[in-house]
Amino acid sequence: MTFFLILLIVVLLGVTFWQLSNFLAITFGNSDNSQVANNADNQKQGKFMLYFVLFLYALMAFCFIEYYSYFLPAASSEHGVDYDRLMQISVVLIMFVQILTQGFLHFFAYKYKGKKDQKATYYADNNTLEMIWTIIPVITLAGLILYGLYTWTTIMNIDEDDEDALIVELYAYQFGWRARYAGNDNELGKANVRFIEGVNTLGVDKSDNYAMDDIITSELHLPVNKRVIFKMRSQDVLHSAYMPFFRAQMNVVPGMITEFSYIPTQTTEEIRLSDFMVEKVETINNIRRDKSKLLLAKGEEALEPYEFDYYLLCNKICGASHFNMQMKIVVESESDFKNWISEQKTFKQVVSN
Amino acid sequence: MSAEHHHHKETFITKYIFSEDHKMIAKQYLITGLLMGIIGIAMSLLFRLQIAWPEQSFAIFEVLLGKWAPEGVMDPNVYLALVTIHGTIMVFFVLTAGLSGTFSNLLIPLQIGARDMASGFLNMVSYWLFFLSSIIMVLSLFVEAGPAAAGWTIYPPLSALPQAMPGSGLGMTLWLVSMAIFIASSLIGSLNYVVTVLNLRTEGMSMSRLPLTIWTFFVTAIIGVISFPVLLSAALLLIMDRSFGTSFFLSDIFIQGEVLHNQGGSPVLFEHLFWFLGHPEVYIVLLPALGITSEVIATNARKPIFGYRAMVISIIAIAFLSTIVWGHHMFVSGMNPFLGSVFTFTTLLIAIPSAVKSFNYITTLWKGNLQFNPAMLFSIGLVSTFITGGLTGIILGDSTLDINVHDTYFVVAHFHLVMGISALYGLFAGVYHWFPKMFGRMLNKNLGYVHFWITAIGAYGVFFPMHFVGMAGLPRRYYTYTNFPYFDDLADTNVLITLFALLTASAQLVFLYNFFHSMFYGKVASKNPWKSNTLEWTTPVEHVHGNWPGELPKVYRWAYDYSKTDNDGNYIIEGQDFTPQTFPMKDNEEILHH
Ligand code: HEM
Ligand SMILES: [Cu+2]
Ligand SMILES: [Cu+2]
CB B412 within 8 A of CB A317: no
CATH number of A166-271+304-352: 2.60.40.420
Tell me which of B377 and A33 has the higher pLDDT: B377
Omega within 30 of 0 (cis) for the link into B485? no
Which residues in chain B are contacts of A122 at CB distance < 8 A?
303-304, 562-565
Which pLDDT score, from 0 to 100, does residue B4 have? 43
Confidence of residue B1 (pLDDT cuts 50, 70, 90): very low
Which residues in chain B are contacts of A157 at CB distance < 8 A?
337
Region B74-80: mean pLDDT is 93
Tell me which of A198 and A58 has the higher pLDDT: A58
Which pLDDT score, from 0 to 100, does residue B5 have? 47
Confidence of residue A73 (pLDDT cuts 50, 70, 90): very high
Q: Does residue B145 register a pLDDT over 50?
A: yes
β-pairing, A310-314 vs A215-217, is: unpaired
Nearest to B387 among A49, A101, A324 (CB): A101
Report the alpha-carbon distance of residue B455 to residue B442 in Å, rounded.
21
Nearest to B445 among A35, A104, A122 (CB): A35
Using CA coordinates, name the residue in chain A closest to B403: A249
Measured in angstroms, how far is the CA atom of residue B462 from the centroid of ligand 1?
11
Q: Does residue B9 register a pLDDT over 80?
A: no
Mean pLDDT lowest for which of A72-81, B58-67, B251-260?
A: B58-67
Region A51-75: mean pLDDT is 96
Point out the ligand 1 atom lying closest to the alpha carbon of residue B504. Answer: 1
Write out the residues surrounding ion ligand 3, Cβ under 5 A: B 279
The bound ligand whose nearest atom lies closest to the alpha carbon of A312 is: 2
Mean pLDDT lowest for which of A124-138, A231-245, B192-206?
A: A124-138
Please give the ipTM for the structure prediction.
Answer: 0.94
Confidence of residue B92 (pLDDT cuts 50, 70, 90): very high
Which pLDDT score, from 0 to 100, does residue B594 have? 60
Q: Which of B529, B504, B518 is nearest to B296 (CA)?
A: B529
- Model pLDDT for residues B277-308, shown as the tens digit of each residue: 899 999 999 999 999 999 999 999 999 999 99
Q: Would the CB of B87 count as within 6 Å of ligand 1?
A: yes
Region A254-265: mean pLDDT is 95
Rounded to the nearest integer, the mean pLDDT of chain B is 93
Q: Does residue A1 register a pLDDT over 70?
A: no
Residue B421 contacts A, CB cutoff 8 Å: no
Annotated domain spans of chain A: 38-116+124-156, 166-271+304-352
∠ CA B42-B290-B118, nearest 5°, is 95
Q: What is the dihedral of CA A220, A225, A229, A233, to 10 degrees?
A: 20
Q: Would the CB of B167 count as within 6 Å of ligand 1?
A: no
Rounded to the nearest integer, the mean pLDDT of chain A is 91
- Model pLDDT for residues B439-459, shown as the tens digit of each residue: 999 999 999 999 999 999 999
- Model pLDDT for residues B324-340, shown as the tens digit of each residue: 999 999 999 999 989 99
Which pLDDT score, from 0 to 100, does residue A32 have? 67
- Model pLDDT for residues A77-135, shown as the tens digit of each residue: 999 999 999 999 999 999 999 999 999 999 999 999 999 888 888 888 888 888 888 89
How many Å lie between the alpha carbon of A33 and the closest alpha carbon of chain B? Answer: 7
Q: With CB atoms and an 8 Å threshold, state whether A256 touches B334.
A: yes
Residue in B50, B90, B406 to alter for ligand 1 test, most ligand atoms within 8 A of Cβ: B90
Q: What is the pTM of this model?
A: 0.94
Q: Does residue B169 register a pLDDT over 60?
A: yes
Q: With CB atoms and an 8 Å threshold, state whether A63 touches B468.
A: yes
Region A7-22: mean pLDDT is 78
Q: Which of residues 149-178 of B touch A (CB under 8 A)?
A: 150-151, 155-158, 161, 164-165
Which pLDDT score, from 0 to 100, does residue A130 have? 86
Region B407-426: mean pLDDT is 96
- Model pLDDT for residues B560-571, shown as the tens digit of each residue: 999 999 888 889
Residue A43: how many CA atoms within 13 Å on its side-chain side? 8
Using CA coordinates, name the residue in chain B closest to A12: B513
Confidence of residue B3 (pLDDT cuts 50, 70, 90): very low
How many Å lie between the alpha carbon of B342 and the closest alpha carbon of chain A? Answer: 9
How many Å lie between the alpha carbon of A23 and the closest alpha carbon of chain B? Answer: 10
Q: Would the CB of B412 count as within 6 Å of ligand 1?
A: yes
- Model pLDDT for residues B519-550, shown as the tens digit of each residue: 999 999 999 999 999 999 999 999 888 999 98
**What is chain A's length?**
353
Measured in angstroms, how far is the CA atom of residue B223 from the centroid of ligand 3?
14
Q: A150-157: long-range contacts at Cβ-Cβ below 8 A with a sequence spacing of 24 or more?
A: A151/A79, A151/A82, A151/A83, A151/A86, A151/B400, A152/B337, A152/B340, A152/B341, A152/B344, A152/B399, A152/B400, A153/B337, A153/B341, A154/A79, A154/A82, A155/A79, A155/A83, A155/A262, A155/B400, A155/B403, A156/B337, A156/B340, A157/B337
Region B81-100: mean pLDDT is 96
The residue whose CA is least distant from atom 16 of ligand 1 is B477
Nearest to A35 among B384, B442, B480 (CB): B442
Number of inter-chain CB pairs under 8 A, A vs B: 395
Which pLDDT score, from 0 to 100, does residue B2 have? 41
Q: With CB atoms and an 8 Å threshold, state whether B352 touches A134.
A: yes
Which pLDDT score, from 0 to 100, does residue B114 have? 93
Report the alpha-carbon distance of residue A87 to residue A68 in Å, rounded.
14
Measured in angstroms, how far is the CA atom of residue B422 from the centroid of ligand 1?
13
